[in-house]
Amino acid sequence: MRSIAIFGATGSIGVNTLDLIGRAPQEYQVAVLTGGRNIALLAEQAKTHRAALAVTADESRYDELKDLLSGTGTEVAAGAEAIRDAAQRPNDWTMSAIVGAAGLVPSLTTVARGGALALANKESLVCAGPLLMKTAESSGAEILPVDSEHSAIFQCLGGHTSETVERVTITASGGAFRDWPMDKLASASVAEASTHPNFAMGQRITIDSATMFNKAMEIIEAKEFFGFEADQIDVVIQREQIIHALVTFNDGAMMAHLGAPDMRHAIGFALHWPERRFLPVERVDLVKLGQLTFAAPDPARYPALALADEVMKTGGLSGAVFNAAKEIALDHFIAGKIGFTDMARVVAATLSACSRESGYGTAADSLEKVLQMNHFARVTATELIARHQI
């Protein structure tokens, strides 16, 4: 039996991971499940999968979780410290699927103790890519990408190193507003931005798809994870989202990864790796599909992409600032305090303000530095919005 920990079990990735694990319960022992405010779901998951430990990030909900799990034998804990402690427990396979910078500590803690980490939390690599990769190198931890594009690149590489690669093409759906007239974007509502043309995902990543901040994060993620140069990575709109990524090798061969838009593919690939096993995902019918279309993203519609380029060129702690500003901008958009197109302005203004801070250009090589810059950028972004300086 393999012991499994899932950080962010109650989210979209977590639920899909448990769906796969629940299909072969005799093979897995669920050691850790963590969640946020959805206590009822966390308790239900812990019961169904007989989890050894259930942790809620929300300390004020400890008693509620404890009551729901009384008599089940599941240990209960709460708070950010408890999440860090849970990541320290040795396990065979850990899924990092908390959303946002809060996922960094469990990712890093898991990697430091040297287990296999299935990484859905792209923020870990955007904020602290060099730190995470260096820690994995010294502990011998194995990081398996779960973001579908990065899983696709990993599969296209097929064991070849990044040095044999000329270009990488990451595909994008174009998000909810890909066909909207530009002048309507500023007034787009939260509900409108929370629908995705192809994928069912958490609300935050769905809105990030509409702005392409998600794709912007993924370019940075690809650079950090595989070690590609910024100018080797392209983004192409592939409306059908059947191709998830393409790799062009130095001999001109181009490998593409095709599959139905279902996160259980990338999750299952990481769960079974290095084997390939049956997965309950739809098979692509090429004839039914008829055609696959490609288009370049319009930089005016998706300013997030140019901001990601800036971050890749600057390096240092700019990734942590980029992510923090994006999280604050997204919080304010969801709360109805800023408009859809303001989000990119918040990130640009925060990058510019934080670039004057000492330490901004220094390497993201310690957790303290990254968390400090993350905090500073969050405060800066919040102030810029409050003072209408965006």
Q: Where on the chain is the footprint of ligand NAD (CB under 6 A)?
A: 8-14, 35-36, 57, 97-100, 102-103, 120-123, 147, 199, 201-202, 204-205, 263
Report what 62 binds from Mg ion, ligand NAD, none; CB cut-off 5-8 Å by kind: none
Min dist. Cβ of residue 235 to ligand NAD (A): 15
Give the Cα separation of 116 and 103 in Å (integer). 16
Q: CA-CA distances (angstroms) from residue 362 to 124, 226, 356, 365, 369?
A: 17, 21, 12, 8, 9
- Give the nearest residue (CB) to ligand NAD: 11
Min dist. Cβ of residue 249 to ligand NAD (A): 25
SS3 166: strand
Report what 262 binds from Mg ion, ligand NAD, none; CB cut-off 5-8 Å by kind: none
Report what 350 binds from ligand NAD, Mg ion, none; CB cut-off 5-8 Å by kind: none
| Binding residue positions | 10-13, 36-38, 121-123, 147-149, 173, 196, 202, 209, 214-215, 218
Q: CA-CA distances (angstroms) from residue 117 to 79, 99, 303?
A: 22, 16, 32
Q: Is 221 in the site for Mg ion (CB under 5 A)?
A: no
**Nearest residue to 5 via CA among 77, 101, 59:** 77
Q: CA-CA distances (angstroms) from residue 349 to 188, 307, 356, 385, 388?
A: 21, 11, 12, 10, 11
**Stretch of 12-20, 146-154, 257-265, 289-297 lying at the interface with Mg ion (CB under 5 A):** 146-154
**Interface characters, 101-140, with Mg ion (x: CB under 5 A):** ----------------------------------------
171 in Cβ contact with 315 (< 8 Å): no
Quote the tokens at residue 183. 């002048």
Min dist. Cβ of residue 324 to ligand NAD (A): 13
Report what 117 binds from Mg ion, ligand NAD, none; CB cut-off 5-8 Å by kind: none
Q: Which residues sit opposite 256 in a β-bridge? A: 246
| Binding residue positions for NADPH | 10-13, 36-38, 121, 123, 202
Min dist. Cβ of residue 352 to Mg ion (A): 27
Min dist. Cβ of residue 136 to ligand NAD (A): 18
Give the Cα separation of 209 and 216 in Å (integer). 9
Q: What sign does the dihedral 188-194-195-199 (CA atoms) show?
A: positive
Q: Which one, 262 or 310, has the nearer CB to ligand NAD? A: 262
| Binding residue positions for 1-deoxy-D-xylulose 5-phosphate | 122, 148-149, 173, 196, 209, 214-215, 218
Report what 120 binds from ligand NAD, Mg ion, none; CB cut-off 5-8 Å by kind: ligand NAD
250 in Cβ contact with 164 (< 8 Å): yes
- Give the nearest residue (CB) to Mg ion: 147
Q: Is 147 in the site for Mg ion (CB under 5 A)?
A: yes
Separation of CA 113 from chain center: 21
Min dist. Cβ of residue 294 to ligand NAD (A): 21
SS3 91: coil
Q: What sign does the dihedral 56-327-210-240 (CA atoms) show?
A: negative
Within 8 A by CB and 6+ apart from 243, the residues are 152, 171, 256, 257, 258, 292
Min dist. Cβ of residue 121 to ligand NAD (A): 4
Q: Summarize as ranges the residues that interact with Mg ion (CB under 5 A).
A: 147-149
